[in-house]
Amino acid sequence: MLTLTCNTNATLYAGCPDDVTITMPDLTPYRAGDEMTCISDGYPAPTYSWTVDGVTSSTTSTQALQEGGRVYICTATVTYDSTTCSSTETRTVTAYSKYRKQYNTLLTILMLMALSVG
């Protein structure tokens, strides 16, 4: 049964993001170009921004990993009328280039060969 209520006021509230979570790629070790995803429980749907080592990077919910050890910060921001609130999550991640991974593998092979000879 549908009920219609007339002459009432409804007040909607912004829900500040309490939980911001960075989801990592499935495979490790992480490679440059793999993507992390930021999700939040804010209402209305939050906007996202990323900083990498203190430099503004992406304004989407995803961020590509950069080569080397980096500090990634995702900020989820909710704006409703003139109210703005935000929350952050920080993750320190090391991602390798495909060339670095090949170098590490080659170095391991050479070390094992040297150990087996001597």
**Whole-structure pTM over 0.85, yes or no?**
no
SS3 54: coil
Distance, in Å, from the CA atom of 47 to the CA atom of 38, rounded to the nearest integer, reads 10
Task: Quickly count: other Cβ atoms within 10 Å of residue 55's Cβ.
Answer: 8
Domains and their CATH numbers in the chain: 20-117 (2.60.40.10)
Angle 51-56-59 from CA coordinates, rounded to 5° = 85
Q: What is the pLDDT of residue 15?
A: 84
Per-residue pLDDT of the chain (118 residues; tens, 9 = 90+): 444 455 655 555 568 988 999 999 998 899 999 999 999 998 999 999 999 999 999 999 999 999 999 999 999 999 988 889 999 999 999 999 866 556 667 667 777 888 887 6
Task: Please confirm whether the linkage preceding 44 is cis (ω < 30° from 0).
Answer: yes
Q: What is the pLDDT of residue 2?
A: 44
